[in-house]
Chains A and B, each alone.
Chain A
Amino acid sequence: MSYYTGSQSLPAGRSIYPATVQQLLRARQKHTQSKFYIDGMELDMVTCVAHLVQIGPYHDNSGRAYFVEDGSAGRLRVSQFSWSESNPLLEGSLKEHIYVRVMGRLKNFNGKNQLIAVHIRPVLDMHEPFFHCLEAMVAFVSRQKRISLSAHTAPTMSRSPRVTQQHTTPMQTDSGTDGYFTPQASWADFENMPELGEIDRLTLLDHHSDEHLHNPEFVQEPSLPSQSPPLSSTSPPLEANNLPSLLRDPYSALSSLQRDIIIKIQENAPLFPTGVPIKALYMRIGRSTDCDSELKIRQAIEEMMEDGLLYSTIDENHFKMKD
């Protein structure tokens, strides 16, 4: 089903939001010149399929006023200003008590929202009103999910230092001398971690949590389960017994190593404002996936950089995830 936009084409980057009459009537502006918002979502162009209840002339005969309802709320006034661009195919085809699709922008007159129509046409396929209902639901849920995901993946940091001896973890080097990487260790200690050839020996002994790898001034509180990518499809279906999940896992095409890298970069991004160092990734991933080569990790990172998922920051050894 395609949208007929009439003689006006949309500027690049604009989208048409499917909405119900109730949403359009409830939309609010911060001030008279600002865009409309519904449930925190900004609206530009909107589309609505509704029952054309009444047709009336504009008070100065420079256009027409239509009144539509879709059962969700009261009546919405739709104003179409210019008849000079009217489509001869449509003139006469709009009559009361049919379904129409309207596209336009909201305006507020005297405290009540109205739709200034860019285009209005009769519905030909009677499934369209129900398609529009479902489309409005999908658009609503998608926007809500996007809002909640962006809030959910925002960096969270506890400012209370957790510096105790009980978190001390012994690490043995080749020479047999014990070194203790304590939470009191500074950021510089992390940067000066042994080279990769010795990582195996170091990681094998660390069976505790990863707290010592963080900057000890901050304690990371993972906002998402560490076993799945932050943007995985955890959204529940609309109805448990019928409809599929609305969001797919955007990282389903990645290998398990790439997914681990993405997860670790996401989790540690707040601790490394200039980019997560590759050494940190190796320390975390090398232990859990038995990947004992920086080369594999670096290759995985480069592949994801080519795919646009990651980018390097201060140098070729620090990475961030693209939004």
Chain B
Amino acid sequence: MSDDQGSPRVNSARLKNYLGAGHPVRVTGKVLNFSDDETHLLMEAPDGGKIKVLLPPPPQTHGVTDTFVEIVGTVVDASTIKHMVCINMGSDLDLNLVNQAIELSFDSKFRGRLF
């Protein structure tokens, strides 16, 4: 992850705004399923959108063990990110709360001052 730039927390609707941004984003969501070859997984973003996460090839491990995770990664396209780091977030997370916090963080009152 970048040492001097942030990795803003986004939902699926805002993902496309960071295409080619040069720094990673964070997506918190619910793991829906893994692909058979475990090259990618599908997750549900806080706003209900679906995001595909490209997983690192072996011998690297993706570290996904919980139902809810936060994936830090670079945006590949409007619905795909490339995994860099995974933070396991347990088995119980209110995605509506997460989405509200995300949307509020983009409010002009806070953007650039807090986030």
With CB as the reference atom, state the residue of chain B lying closest to A140.
B114
Cα distance, A99 to B98, chains bound together (Å): 15
Residues of A with C-beta under 8 A to B72: 51
Residue interface mask A69-83, B partner, CB < 8 A = 1? 101111100000000
Residues of B with C-beta under 8 A to A74: 2-6
A72 is contacted by which of B2, B6, B86, B94 (Cβ under 8 Å)?
Answer: B6
B35-43, B47-55, B74-82, B103-111 - the one binding chain A: B103-111
Inter-subunit contact A133/B105 (CB<8 Å):
yes
Cα distance, A126 to B110, chains bound together (Å): 22
Q: How many residues of B contact A (CB 8 A)?
A: 34
B26 is contacted by which of A71, A127, A136, A242 (Cβ under 8 Å)?
Answer: A71
Determine the main DSSP class of B at the interface with A. Answer: loop
The answer to whether the Cβ of A98 comes within 8 Å of any Cβ in the partner chain is: yes
Given A71-B9, A72-B6, A97-B86, A127–B104 Cβ distance below 8 Å? no
Residue interface mask A218-247, B partner, CB < 8 A = 1? 000000000000000000001100100000
The answer to whether the Cβ of B101 comes within 8 Å of any Cβ in the partner chain is: yes
Interface residues of A (CB under 8 A from B): 20-23, 39, 51, 53, 69, 71-75, 97-99, 126-127, 130, 133-134, 136-137, 140-141, 238-239, 242
8 contacts between A and B (CB under 8 A): A23-B114, A51-B70, A71-B26, A97-B85, A97-B86, A133-B104, A238-B107, A239-B104
Q: Which 8 A-B pairs have the closest CB atoms?
A: A126-B89, A74-B4, A130-B101, A72-B115, A73-B6, A133-B101, A71-B9, A71-B7
Interface residues of B (CB under 8 A from A): 1-9, 26, 63, 68, 70, 72, 85-87, 89-90, 92-94, 97-98, 100-101, 104-105, 107, 109-110, 113-115
